[in-house]
Amino acid sequence: MAEEKNGFVPKVVYALCTWCGSGGSETAAAFHLKYPENVRPFRVMCTGALDPAYTLRAFIEGADGVVVSGCHPGDCHYNTGNYRARRRIAAMKTILDTFGLDGDRVWLRWVAHGEGQKLVDTAKEFSDHMVEKGPNPLKERWDT
């Protein structure tokens, strides 16, 4: 279970590219490494294929944070997809800051197929980070 503060357990969405991020997840599973239950992974073909609209939609639908993991620079199976993802996520952070959502609610971390421990550590670190950040401000606005 995730660390919690005042009963708050963040909803975390974790986008993993098929080749490296998901591979890291499979490696973690092979070694029985566990990430927090509040972290919900989903697969995209490449981090560069992750439409920024889906990231925004995750926040609109109640996610407290979104973390993205894909192949290390130079290792993307689609050559430059991860560079595209890096640019998009930098832009996404600016957009979130502009809307008062805090750009630090989106992280990009490189994870290779064999880096199961790194994937688990990233999930835990990000989840703990979201505990410190608190709930998605959109939820508070809509609940009042």
Give the whole-angstrom CA distance, residue 135 versus residue 64: 6
- The yes or no reply on residue 77 touching ligand FES (CB under 6 A) is yes
Burial tier of 53 (Cβ tally within 10 Å: 0-12, 13-18, 19+): exposed
User: Which residues 86-105 are close enough to bind ligand FES by CB under 6 A?
Assistant: none
DSSP conformation class of 113: T
CB of 58: closest distance to ligand FES in angstroms?
Answer: 19
Binding part of the chain for ligand FES, among 35-43, 44-52, 100-108, 124-132 by CB under 6 A, reads 44-52
Is 134 within 8 Å of 92 (Cβ atoms)? no
3-state secondary structure of 17: strand
Q: How many CA atoms lie within 13 A of 64 on its CB side?
A: 18
CB of 144: closest distance to ligand FES in angstroms?
Answer: 39
3-state secondary structure of 7: coil
- The yes or no reply on residue 76 touching ligand FES (CB under 6 A) is yes
- Token pair, residue 10, equals 């963040």
Is 37 within 8 Å of 90 (Cβ atoms)? no
Return the number of the residue (28 or 71) whose C-beta is nearest ligand FES: 71
Binding part of the chain for ligand FES, among 27-35, 42-50, 116-124, 136-144 by CB under 6 A, reads 42-50
Return the number of the residue (65 or 81) whose C-beta is nearest ligand FES: 81
Binding part of the chain for ligand FES, among 2-10, 24-32, 41-49, 112-120 by CB under 6 A, reads 41-49
List of residues contacting ligand FES (CB under 6 A): 17, 19-20, 46-48, 70-71, 76-78, 81-82
